[in-house]
Each structure stands twice: as structure tokens, then as C-alpha cells.
Structure 1
Amino acid sequence: MRIAKEFTFDMAHMLDGHDGKCHNLHGHTYTLQVEVSGDLIATGSSAEMVLDYGDIKRIVKEHVTAKLDHAFAYFEENENECRIAKLLQEMDRKTVALPCRSTAEGIAMVIYDWLTPYLPVSAIRLGETPTSFCEYTGEPS
């Protein structure tokens, strides 16, 4: 059985070195769907559930949206993005370092890694715009 919960958050980023307009600093309202899977719970107050949606909400808020919402996400190995992050940090602004470029694909993989210690994640779907999204299932591409 698979269930999912949807979240939204706003985040700024840039793709330094990209040939398109996304090389500029800009932001998105992201849509995040966290899908979890497992057997139905047999007994107790959560009987016939995979997991309580409230538990998913609490875990995603703590480990994902609290970090990303209204932050500048930057690739920790990119010199230009790090320079911008440093300036923002000096101004006491929210930043989050990522181990990859801040593409939708990269962010989805990071979110998957952040959540799998706490949830039986089967897929992360991340929408960057109303018409563009990616899905990551933990399988190498």
C-alpha cells in the first residue's frame, strides 16, 4: 500500500554555469509529495493505516520544510553560489547548503536521503513550477 502527503515551500536558488535563465538568482514555490509505502497496521488506533498523515507532516516539517522554506539553497562546492550564501549569512539570512546542484532532481534526491531514516519513503515528487516536476524513487538513474 502506498500513501502520499503534499507540502509546499518557497525557496531561492540559482544554477551557476547553466546556459539558460536559471543561472540568475530566483525563487520557486515548490510542491513536494512524499510517498510512503508499507503494510497496513493491524491493531491499535492506527489500524488499517500505512502511517498516520499527522506523523508524516511532523517528520517532513522537521527534516525538510523547516530547512528549505524561505531559504537560499546553494551547491556547497560552487564558488559563486558559496559567495552569495556567505553574504546572506553575514546578513543573518537563511541558507541551506546542498551536496549537489539545486536542480529539482538534485533537491528531490536530497529530500529522499533526509527522510529515509524516519519514513518508509517510496517516492519523492518535487514540482518546481505548476507544469514541471520530477520523481525520485531511490533508484539510480
Structure 2
Amino acid sequence: MPWQLNTEFTFDSAHVITGYDGPCGRLHGHTYRVRLELSADRLRSSAHVRRAIMVADFKTLKWAKKDVQAGGLDHAYLNDLLGDDTTAEVIAAHIHGETLRRVRDTLDPGDQGQDLCLKVILWETPDSNCEYWE
């Protein structure tokens, strides 16, 4: 694909890995770091510019950075949003699905974004991450 858009951001959230035998089974928090890599075969318009000059708008990609009360994941209790399973793998898959949904919601009618390919890299700690893509 000729274009790849990359962005990184952080958000702070708390969670419990339900049933985990160890410290992660207790309430704790992380400063998650996210890297999104979105590639596409062609350029498109966005909600903010109606000319086909971008893969996607960075504002749309960084939705998870927003406060939970504004629809993001910052300062969220992840178990309230995702249920009992709040591993890095589950969080990365959630960010992937929600990001693609939000990007596709900005596309022109008739454009289903079939050429869009998104990779999510989620760091739970500075030295441990999970990668998710389809």
C-alpha cells in the first residue's frame, strides 16, 4: 500500500484481570502507550477537509486518548467498558475495532474502506507490548 499513517499517544486507565492469581488480579492502573499504523491504497477526505488528501484524520485516530466521559479510554475503569477480560490483547483488539469503525464512519457514502489496514501496538508497561491487526 502506498500510504501508511502512524501516530502514537498515551492514556491512563485502571483495571482488574478477573480471576488472575497474582497482583494483576487486584485493582491497578497503567499508562498505556498506543501506536497506530493505518495503511491505504488511496487518499480520502475527512470530517474536517472534504478533499481526498489524507489516509485518515489524526483526530479520528486519537479517539482513545480522550477522557472516558468524552468517549475515550483516558481515566477509564476498563472493566466497565470491556468486562472481565482486560488483558493487553483484549484492549488492543478493542482499540483496533473501534478505530476502524470511527475511521469508516467518516468515509463518503459508498466507500467501505476495504483497502484500509490497521495495526495496533499497545504497551502496557515500558517493556511489554501487544500487536494486533487483521
- Which of 4, 7, 12 is equivalent to 1:5? 7
Taking a change above 3 Å as real, the CA distance of residues 56 and 16 of structure 1, as seen in their structure-2 partners, is closer
Give CA-to-partner distance per residue, 1:76-117, whole Å, 9 cap, x none: xxxxxxxxxxxxxxxxxxxx3215600000011111111212
Alignment identity in percent? 39
SS at structure 1 position matched to 2:78: strand
Equivalence for 2:109: none
**Residues 1:111 and 2:116 aligned together:** no
Q: Distance in 2 between matches of 1:31 and 1:52?
A: 19
Helix, strand or coil at the partner of 2:72? helix
Shift of 1:121: 4.8
1:78 aligned partner:
none
Structure 1-normalised TM-score? 0.67
Please say if 1:73 is aligned against 2:59: no
What are the ranges of 5 or more consecutive residues in structure 1 without an aligned counterpart?
Answer: 75-95
Which of structure 1's runs of 4+ aligned residues deviate more than 2 A?
A: 39-47, 49-57, 59-67, 118-121
Partners of 1:118 and 1:132 lie apart in 2 by: 27
Q: SS of the residue aligned with 1:67?
A: coil
TM (norm. structure 2) is 0.70
Counterparts of 1:109 and 1:100, CA distance in 2 = 15
What's the RMSD between the two structures over aligned residues?
A: 2.8
Structure 2: distance between partners of 1:118 and 1:97: 17
